[in-house]
Structure 1
């Protein structure tokens, strides 16, 4: 970890550039994540108090209001609740609006959707319009976020200004899967908190919210097919209705964020038996779920059937990690079932995972499983399986060599609940380590930072996620040749982004120290 003294020197050296904003004065380009290609000039523009959105020439009709609402949100985060009441000096170039051209009329958020864009901000013209060109509306959303980071409030003029025009930015993501896991079983997260996390994800262009909804501790989600399941919630009020889940998914989709739902089976499911005790092996030995009982798989089928009405993402996560099978062999009727079917504990574990996979596939899903399933019986997994690495490094290269897809979340680098994991480690964690074959590289869908909930709740989730998740977000978005070879060289730029998050109402913690640490002393946000 960079020492506090080193961090302070870096930030002090960059303080003028930080305060100046993106590109001011010919200094560093303060955009996060760094785009694929950036060219700029030296002209300062003022931004109209009544910035217009124009969609002339676009094939996209915006029937869902995705673009219009995103533009309104962009204007709000640019203005940051300042009173914009200055006067334009005569002859000053004023940016009248943003012209957006979306080529595809399709506004369905599918996995692998084209997220590329071109953003141009001219220095001359009458009227003066920024131009966004994108294949899909979701690329346009990313362009609006980048545009917002070019703008700054001028406290003297009391206007919004944009420095270093003309700008030409060409951009696209390095990986299609750029995820953040939240855990609503260990601590319940109210719906507004989940939505605030989704909003914060868009600022660094993350695009998958992995919702680890249930676990052994609680089952907060309504499942109409099996209505007693949410008897396993912590309390009457710590629950999500079916319609709540639909609302969260729709909220995320309008921001270009997919929602990946997870049920972690057969382990991590003790809470299921509160409503349906027959899912437990016995009253005294309650997990993993009873492998011998067809009712177990009927419930899984019911859950996934209901999921298919809510979660439209291509994938569903079925867990499969940390399965202690001892209850199966110490429960007489299950042991008899194993003997009858010629299975040992390992066989039964494999049988359970593969049967759950078939159920998910029948509902139209590809499957994600934690890496233990691959480590134990990788050659038996359905070819639609994506292996989710978490235990450590070196797994992804084995997965793709076997021809399966992979998501990287190795816990030593990308687990946010590890408060001693530094942002520098998040930044330098490379998903393609030791993977050189181009075809195998394509099997690495991307990566995910994981905010497990044992020690976080609504009171501290954002400062535990940010800014470390943003460090990983640049790794997943920016072309590898544009990434810094030394994390320390991006310290000042990330510090500015962290301050930007604070200004936008996201409780991102200081860079110095460990995750979720408080400021060490009085001082500027830019120097913490």
Structure 2
């Protein structure tokens, strides 16, 4: 088997030399990165092709063969799997390991791995924020032990262990069986941040339910754990709200809608993969579409945004939406937006001007009033809340201490937020906005959420980060290749201990290229690694060359 690994080494070496040559001829960022790609080649030669990189890894040099009847054992586990989460995840793992190939070879009589023995120490499967996602994965090197061992505090840690295990397995095209190289393995792993998010925007372009589910599956591959669903915006209101059924008159068309049952299905589908769904309604701006169902929410027909701050009906609708949300979106947080509020309509609409005078407010006071009142409504439905950073920049001292500030405009804000004692999520647009098609994976990987935040008590207030897929130029035809593999680069930054992160992107490039090809084999339309945004292959060759 060592000779087989040596042939693989030589083949990969030739591929990488070709990559460096081709990319050097192309010039630009591609060549600058790839000129040092062979520095990371030892990782490939040793089989350490895991993404994201675990906290602690040790491995050997033996090869194991997966039994044709690879099984799941759970004896000794406190978790009963009454909901079937573990069993379903195990079956899916076995399916993706085969890369859709026909596995019909003869498994050798020695070095056979019969299955996974999973022990989970917690009895419940509640996906609470901050749930323990740690796991230990041990894979033997001989027939003395025929089961790999997984130990996790919760089912969600076990799901991460299954994903890691799947990335260690390879289909052998000669023997037509599944092999696991470099045993024995000992992996101890846990996330760096509790919040590791991806935002999708279904208001600028509708995304079918099947596409959203596929994105959720992809998130699980990189251990992201929050799907931020920016459901509605000024362009469209596609979601059914039972308390105010005319709101989805603001959808683009009759068929580009989500029923409340659809939303519940997405939440449950994500939960079974260890992913919470964060719902957002962006108020008081970004809400023109609301008025297509209830036009009294507009300041006037001629001036339709922000929502009418002077009208009690506005807050009744907000209360109804959040009441309906609380029955479906069980994550502890709701996102209330609050960004890019242009108050011109409030200054120029007669009845609102009159209300402002009566309340002795100017338009800035009214903006603060709206945001704080929305927070109180959210709190009444059991939510803590996230607001975009403008709310902190404009009236941070007035925000509820339950507020999580979502940084997006640039650097320097996160350190001010945690310095004020509030929690923060980092999504600075210069690095982590996927709709910026000129942003490369290198920028995604090197973006550090804790920059200039050195005090341990303040570092704990940075819950994590999120990459944002704003939907102006992304629909079902191109959303996957716009997200991947750049989101994977950020995912490792959010999962892996900082001491294990590469300080030079040239070192990590081969491993990310390998993972991008793995995504392709799993049916995910991840774009070429060395193309900006959602670029296409620029020359012929192996997937790993692109």
Structure 2 length as normaliser, TM-score?
0.94
**Could you tell me which residue of structure 1 aligns to residue 66 of structure 2?**
47
**Could you tell me which residue of structure 1 aligns to residue 312 of structure 2?**
294
**Could you tell me which residue of structure 2 aligns to residue 349 of structure 1?**
367
Shift of 1:101: 0.1
Identify unmatched segments of 5+ residues in structure 1: 19-24
CA contact (8 A) 1:10 1:491 kept: no
Shift of 1:12: 6.9
Establish whether residue 29 from structure 1 lines up as the match of residue 48 from structure 2.
Answer: yes
C-alpha change, 1:306 and 1:338, in structure 2 (3 Å) is same
Shift of 1:10: 4.9
Establish whether residue 59 from structure 1 lines up as the match of residue 85 from structure 2.
Answer: no
**Could you tell me which residue of structure 2 aligns to residue 172 of structure 1?**
190
1:220-277 per-residue CA deviation (whole Å, 9 max, x = no partner) reads 0000000000000000000000100000000000000000000000000000000000
Shift of 1:89: 2.9
CA contact (8 A) 2:112 2:143 kept: no
**Could you tell me which residue of structure 1 aligns to residue 149 of structure 2?**
131
**Could you tell me which residue of structure 1 aligns to residue 7 of structure 2?**
none
1:384-426 per-residue CA deviation (whole Å, 9 max, x = no partner) reads 0000000000100000000000000000000000001110000
Distance between the aligned counterparts of 2:132 and 2:76, measured in 1? 19
**Could you tell me which residue of structure 1 aligns to residue 20 of structure 2?**
none
**Could you tell me which residue of structure 1 aligns to residue 541 of structure 2?**
523
Establish whether residue 264 from structure 1 lines up as the match of residue 292 from structure 2.
Answer: no
CA contact (8 A) 2:307 2:314 kept: yes
Helix, strand or coil: the match of 2:199? strand
**Could you tell me which residue of structure 2 aligns to residue 211 of structure 1?**
229
CA contact (8 A) 1:12 1:527 kept: no
Runs of 4 or more consecutive aligned structure 1 residues displaced over 2 Å after TM superposition: 1-18
Shift of 1:106: 1.2
Distance between the aligned counterparts of 1:148 and 1:509, measured in 2? 22
Distance between the aligned counterparts of 1:4 and 1:262, measured in 2? 37
CA contact (8 A) 2:65 2:108 kept: no
1:334-393 per-residue CA deviation (whole Å, 9 max, x = no partner) reads 000000000001000000000000000000000100000000000000000000000000
1:147-186 counterparts in 2 under 5 A? 147-186=165-204
Distance between the aligned counterparts of 2:167 and 2:123, measured in 1? 27
Distance between the aligned counterparts of 1:504 and 1:254, measured in 2? 19
Match for 2:444 among 426, 430, 435? 426
Distance between the aligned counterparts of 1:17 and 1:478, measured in 2? 16
CA contact (8 A) 1:151 1:163 kept: yes
Structure 1 length as normaliser, TM-score?
0.97
Establish whether residue 5 from structure 1 lines up as the match of residue 31 from structure 2.
Answer: yes
Match for 2:159 among 130, 141, 154? 141
Establish whether residue 231 from structure 1 lines up as the match of residue 257 from structure 2.
Answer: no
Distance between the aligned counterparts of 1:202 and 1:468, measured in 2? 15
C-alpha change, 1:2 and 1:425, in structure 2 (3 Å) is farther
Helix, strand or coil: the match of 1:223? coil
Identify unmatched segments of 5+ residues in structure 2: 1-26
C-alpha change, 1:8 and 1:435, in structure 2 (3 Å) is closer
Shift of 1:29: 1.3
CA contact (8 A) 1:228 1:276 kept: yes
**Could you tell me which residue of structure 2 aligns to residue 78 of structure 1?**
97
Establish whether residue 497 from structure 1 lines up as the match of residue 497 from structure 2.
Answer: no
Distance between the aligned counterparts of 1:367 and 1:98, measured in 2? 40
**Could you tell me which residue of structure 2 aligns to residue 21 of structure 1?**
none
Establish whether residue 249 from structure 1 lines up as the match of residue 250 from structure 2.
Answer: no
Deviates more, 1:123-132 or 1:60-69: 123-132
Shift of 1:80: 1.3
Distance between the aligned counterparts of 1:165 and 1:224, measured in 2? 55
Distance between the aligned counterparts of 1:89 and 1:57, measured in 2? 30
1:427-446 per-residue CA deviation (whole Å, 9 max, x = no partner) reads 00000000011000000000
**Could you tell me which residue of structure 2 aligns to residue 377 of structure 1?**
395
Helix, strand or coil: the match of 1:271? helix
Shift of 1:2: 6.5
Shift of 1:3: 2.8
Helix, strand or coil: the match of 1:397? helix
